[in-house]
A and B are shown apart, each in its own frame.
Chain A
């Protein structure tokens, strides 16, 4: 997973490049929480453009990060959902809670 912080906008973008399952999610969670605490952003975006596989571990990951970011005063959004990622998120209902970012390009 790659991450980039945009100081001006207090925006932290995570670009997930791994397959998301119970195994990989542990590493993603650790890195995301560490960086959110480190940069204290106002807005956190998870970009799914390069995600080739995700199971229900992804739902827990996003709900967990949503709560963590909220606690530290940041809003969380998701971006570039692939068809299969969208299908799983829609099934869980989390898209009613977590908005999809308008932007598609993260420089």
Chain B
């Protein structure tokens, strides 16, 4: 018997880099109801931190705006949408390339999208120049399935 979770949360905050920690901790707390492993939780926090940083330093640059996060839980999948109404990305394919950055002077590594892509199961970018960018990422939390299998194999013995 698998429990089905359906849950949703929404978070909005001003685009200040001091809020990056708040954002990733809030999402991690929301994700914790799926009972993730420490490693899965670390992956989620890192991916959220990358996306929020992008909104703040690329989307809004020196201006101030609102960063919006929507978190959803569907069975054992966590879905996170992170969006800004900033300047948008001109060429998504180039932006996604490892080590590509428009801000090397700020010591940005250009690894943000690469990290989001590899730490989450899926990552999609929607962006319109002048209107903003939305990142949708999802991750299946496997811990529960493994425990279930473990439980089944133990009871079969």
- Residue positions of A touching B, CB distance < 8 A: 19, 21-23, 25, 29, 53-57, 59-61, 63-64, 83-84, 88, 91-92
Contact = CB atoms under 8 A, between A and B. Distances in A.
Contact of B53 (A57, A83, A91, A92): A57
Given A54-B46, A60-B107, A60-B109, 12 more contacts: A21-B20, A21-B53, A23-B17, A29-B107, A53-B24, A53-B42, A53-B45, A55-B115, A56-B53, A56-B109, A57-B53, A57-B109
Given A22-B20, A29-B107, A56 B57 contact: no
A56 B115 CA distance: 8
Given A56-B109, A56-B115, A21 B17 contact: yes
Interface residues of B, number: 25
B39 interface: yes
B154 interface: no
Contact of B20 (A23, A54, A83, A92): A23
The residue among A21, A91, A92 with the most chain B CB atoms within 10 A of its own CB is A21
If over half of A's interface residues share one DSSP class (helix, strand or loop), that class is named, otherwise mixed; here it is helix
B111 interface: yes
A33 to B, nearest CB: 11
A57 B107 CA distance: 8
B17 A84 contact: no
Contacts of B39: 83-84
B74 interface: no
